[in-house]
Structure 1
Amino acid sequence: MSRSSLSRLSAPRVRRAAAASTAALVLVGLAACSSSSSTTAGSTSSAAASSSASSSASAALNGKVTVFAAASLKKTFTQLGKAFEAAHPGVTVTFNFGGSDTLAASIVSGAPADVFASASLATMKTVVDKGDTAAAPVDFAKNELEIAVQPGNPKKITSLSQLTGSGIKVALCAKSVPCGAAAQKALTAAGVKLTPVTLEQDVTAALTKVELGEVDAALVYRTDVKSAGSKVTGVNFAEAGKAVTTYPIAALKGSSNAAAAQAFAAYVASPEGEQVLAAAGFQAP
């Protein structure tokens, strides 16, 4: 067979081989595109799922949370409540402020509450012993007493012993109230016997007596003096460190909004909560 005949026979084979090679390249390209498209779709799906999960997490807390809190926490907790609502738009926080002993008595009697923040370990223990807490209480702050006097301290009071002076009218919290119990500890440490003109059921009421000019002085918490601003003047005294008040908080058993109650209690004890408390004059627990 001639060389030219061999060439004519080989040409179709070459063309078929080239076509096969081209088809293979096309298939590889399509597979690559398909793989790329599949990866992109998977990433989009994953991102969507992540976004959905994030939205679900932020929307998980909703409804109303009722917090029973010591009167000395009113300004700070009101601020913390607003911040918590901003972080969880579906939640509304409401407060009942008052004497810790009165609040504890209400809780053990069945008053509807989700969280209890006390100015006393003893009053919190009352609630714990009745089995009304959902978890162990957490100490979140401490406080010390100051002598609140009229602006500018016209009576020149500088110590607890001066509160017994002639013509000095003093307001104290009742002994059953945490600020009253702390006051008695401080007076005992100073060796001072004091007869107040009035005994109040919470620290806010005692401070108000000074603000209104009805008494010359009152033993209240340092944070209350700071909150009152120019309405009163605060006087430190040596025995204050011997009557430090510790504040515990706990979500309550039987809460109608357990998840939000636990989240609020945790928020108060969190670094963000501690920052707000410190700015108000509270000490770290």
Structure 2
Amino acid sequence: MTRSTRRTRMLKSGVAGAAALLALSACSSSSSDDSSSAGSGTSASAAPKLSGTVTVFAAASLKESFTTLGKQFEQQHPGTKVTFNFGGSDSLAASITSGAPADVFAAASTKTMAIVTDKKDAAGTPVTFVRNQLEIATAPGNPDKISSLKDLTRSGLKVVLCDKTVPCGAAAQKVLDASRLKLTPVSYEQDVKSALTKVELKEADAALVYKTDVQAAAGRVQGVEFPESAEAVNDYPITLLKNAPNATAAKAFVELVTSAEGQNVLTGAGFLKP
């Protein structure tokens, strides 16, 4: 082989090697660009960071469990704050339809939720997230030996009921009617917590409240179950409100309430699954 031939082959080999390096470099650059584009797309589709205050109007019987869920929500979404207005579902509904600023409404009955939906103040269809059942609350130790719904009609026994316009009162009246029992309470209270407080303060001997309220007041009252309570189990609906000031964060709070995590908190408080 001549010196000229060897030189020619070496030049060709060098050109081929350079071409291979250029091809590898192009592949690497393309892969890097694709990766960068994919990363950019992922970032663009990420959920927006939640912030601001979420105002929740909720039935009084939800106080303990919703307070817990509110704290969990704030921990999961730094920069948010959940504030609550707890009370009788009927008065809360009336406030909403009168223009009170709120993001979420959770009622203790479908009837009181209808006050809001009939006025077109709900954003979408309310969802039932839990159910609740009545129980008799007595002083610790049950000093009056109350063992049935009929016992509440005994002469001299001071009994408190929720007002008939609120869900716990409507449920109490329903079981009394179904059992053909009549009693005259010493007072009608505007929400279930007020009825329970009467027993805690010994201003009443017994009250018809929810199981969840008896559980929340463990040690301060004693619960007596009665089979007639199955006649009036309340569905609890929740909805995002149409004019919610912080709709994005409010929707996330509703999602927490209806999630498996939220259900664990609620059933742990004594609520029944929907």
Shorter-chain-normalised TM-score: which range? over 0.9
Question: What is the TM-score with the length of structure 2 in the denominator?
Answer: 0.95
Match of 1:22 among 14, 19, 34: 14
Offset at residue 263 of structure 1 (A): 2.1
CA distance in 2, matches of 1:81, 1:47: 33
Q: Are 2:101 and 1:112 equivalent residues in the alignment?
A: yes
Between Structure 1 and Structure 2, the one with more helix by share is: 1
1:133 aligned partner: 122
**CA–CA separation in structure 2 for the residues paired with 1:53 and 1:170:** 60
Contact (CA 8 Å) 1:58, 1:88: kept in 2 or not? no
Superposed displacement of residue 66, structure 1: 0.6
Unaligned runs of 5+ in 2: none
What is the deviation of 1:22?
A: 2.3
Within 5 A, what are the aligned runs for 1:83-232?
A: 83-232=72-221
Displacement, 1:30? Answer: 3.5
Secondary structure of the structure 1 residue equivalent to 2:219: helix
Match of 1:47 among 25, 35, 39: 39
Give the C-alpha shift of residue 247 in structure 1. 0.3
Is 1:251 equivalent to 2:251 in the alignment?
A: no
Q: Which residue of 1 aligns with 2:228?
A: 239
What amino acid is the match of 2:122?
T
Q: CA deviation at 1:43?
A: 2.3
For residues 127 and 152 of structure 1, the distance between their equivalents in structure 2, rounded to whole angstroms, comes to 41
Structure 1, 146-155 or 28-37: larger mean CA deviation: 28-37
Cα displacement string for residues 222-249 of structure 1 (whole angstroms, at most 9, x for unaligned residues): 0000010111110000101001011001
Q: What is the CA-CA distance between 1:31 and the residue it aligns to?
A: 2.5
Distance in 2, matches of 1:46 and 1:86, equals 30
- The residue matched to 1:220 in structure 2 has which SS? strand
Secondary structure, counterpart of 1:157 in structure 2:
coil
Q: For 1:25 and 1:17, locate their aligned partners in 2 and report how far apart those are by CA, in whole Å.
A: 12
Residue 267 (structure 1) shift = 2.0
Aligned residues of 1:147 and 1:218 also touching (Cα < 8 A): yes
Please tell me whether residue 281 in structure 1 is matched to residue 270 in structure 2: yes
Q: TM-score of the superposition, structure 1-length normalised?
A: 0.91
Separation in structure 2 between the aligned mates of residue 214 and residue 12 of structure 1, nearest angstrom: 117
Could you say which residue in structure 1 is the equivalent of 2:258? 269
For 2:48 and 2:197, how far apart are their aligned partners in 1? 41
Could you tell which deviates more after superposition, 233-242 or 251-260?
251-260
Percentage identity across paired residues of the two chains? 58
Instruction: Give 5+ residue unaligned stretches, structure 1.
Output: 1-6
Aligned equivalents of 2:107 and 2:6: distance in 1? Answer: 93
Distance 1:94 1:38 in 2: 51
Question: Which amino acid is the alignment partner of residue 84 of structure 1?
Answer: F
Three-state SS of the structure 2 residue aligned to 1:28 is: helix
Shift of 1:218: 0.4
**How many residues get paired?**
274
Aligned counterpart, 1:57:
47
Correspondence for 2:28 among 33, 36, 39 = 36
Q: Which amino acid is 1:18 matched to?
A: M
**Aligned partners of 2:82, 2:167: CA distance in 1, in Å?**
24
The alignment's C-alpha RMSD in Å is 1.6
- The one-letter amino acid paired with 2:53 is K
| Distance in structure 2 (CA, Å) of the matches to 1:133 and 1:152 | 44
- Higher Rg: 1
Q: Please tell me the residue identity of whatever aligns with 2:190.
A: Q
SS in structure 1 of the partner of residue 188 of structure 2: strand
SS in 1 for 2:10: helix
Shift of 1:39: 1.8
- Look up the SS of the partner of 1:12 in the other structure: helix
Offset, 1:53: 4.0
